[in-house]
Amino acid sequence: MKHIYFFMLLAVWMLAACSSNSGTVKTDAPATEAPVETQAAAPATEAQPDATAEAESDEVFHHPGAGFSMTKPMDWKYLSPEMVKTASASVKWNDAELEKAIKENPNAPLVVITRYREPYPTLNPSVAVTMVNLPVEGMPPKDILNMSTEVLKRAYPDLTYVDEVQDASVDGINGAYTKIKYTMAAGDQKFPTLTRMWLVPRGKIMFTVGMSSPQEGPDVSEEAFKKILSSIKIERK
């Protein structure tokens, strides 16, 4: 049951919704383990000293504790944790159990960026990165990603794969990738959404990278997403 619960939460974290805030993002996370908010969904581990994220420049996000860095496009915006929670709360879920899990276990992403400043009248292209403990040691990344995206079908019945779950690497680390499309509801509005997801294990933890946009039009942002993905650096620990 604990593993199913974990996959429910992981599925939501990988689709972290966006709001935005310019300036430097600050988050607290243990040096080598998942953030405190995720510990209940994974095997207990010894806490590590806190480390604070920092911006080496306005565009380069660096979290020394997580050993993670990423460069955002100059005109994209950083997101505050408060805005992330507000946006997440506005999303409607078709599955009561999943919604309960989300409300009881709010996620704290390492970083979230959006293309436009919020409030934005339609779906805002976004990138969200999280760090969580591996649910089962030795489980292939493709299996974890497959189970997580299958859980998402409970929340989004129209979810379909654009790219099937497959092997992929981020900064030379082997992981898994998929691209899905579905309809997100927020308030009384519905947004056809396209999300690319990467799962990158490192030791006992893994990073998830979610990049979401509209399914059509100028805000699909494929070129920007490619540049952001290629800028990611993950320290080997």
Looking only at Cα atoms, what is the longest distance across the chain? 47
Say if residue 119 is preceded by a cis peptide, omega within 30 of 0. Answer: yes
129 lies in which domain range?
A: 2-234
| Comparison of pLDDT for 27 and 236, the residue scoring more | 236
Contacts of 167 (CB under 8 A, 6+ apart): 141, 142, 174, 175, 176, 177
In tens, the pLDDT along 38-75 reads 332 333 332 233 445 554 557 999 999 999 999 999 99
Two tokens at 89? Answer: 């709360």
The arithmetic mean of pLDDT across residues 9-33, rounded, is 41
Of residues 106, 95, 110, 63, the one with CA closest to residue 233: 63
Distance, in Å, from the CA atom of 42 to the CA atom of 237, rounded to the nearest integer, reads 20
pLDDT at position 15 is 52
- Per-residue pLDDT band at 35 (split at 50, 70, 90): very low
In tens, the pLDDT along 93-151 reads 555 665 565 555 555 688 889 999 878 888 899 999 988 888 777 889 999 999 888 88
Tally of structural domains, the chain: 1
Residue 157 sits in a domain of what CATH number?
3.40.1000.10
Q: Residue written as tokens 């159990």?
A: 97
pLDDT at position 7 is 54
In tens, the pLDDT along 158-210 reads 999 999 999 999 999 999 999 999 998 766 788 899 999 999 999 988 999 99
